[in-house]
Amino acid sequence: MTHRNNELLLISTHMRYLNVQEFFYSIIFLLLVVGYLVRTHLLFVSRVYSELRTEFEKLLCLEQLGDSLEEIQSFAFDDNKLCGGGLAYGVKSIRSKNKS
């Protein structure tokens, strides 16, 4: 009877050891899966951030270009007013000189 109880105790201890071992393996597996998912998510966020930053820089360049064009346009119109005519005035006078 004691031999049988010792066997049952040994089997019970062995089963507990296997359950603990399986538990640790499942924790390690879950940590690996979570690590993979976090890494994938970070790569995705990094790519999206990079694309957004590029688009934002393009918008800033376009805004600066628009400002520069406005400055050039205002400068050109101011010069034409000082000369006494618009852009069409200069073109007409050149054409009239070529015809005569």
3-state secondary structure of 86: coil
Over residues 19-70, the pLDDT tens digits come to: 888 899 999 999 999 999 999 999 999 999 999 999 999 989 989 988 888 8
- Cα–Cα distance between 49 and 54 in angstroms, integer? 9
pLDDT at 100 over 50: no
Domain spans of the chain, in order of start: 2-99
pLDDT at 99 over 90: no
Question: Residue 40: its pLDDT value, please?
Answer: 97
User: H/E element holding 52?
Assistant: helix 2-83
Q: Taking a C-beta distance cutoff of 8 angstroms, is the pair 80, 86 a contact? A: yes
pLDDT at 14 over 80: no
Q: Structure pTM?
A: 0.48
Bigger pLDDT: 85 vs 13: 13
Q: Taking a C-beta distance cutoff of 8 angstroms, is the pair 87, 80 a contact? A: yes
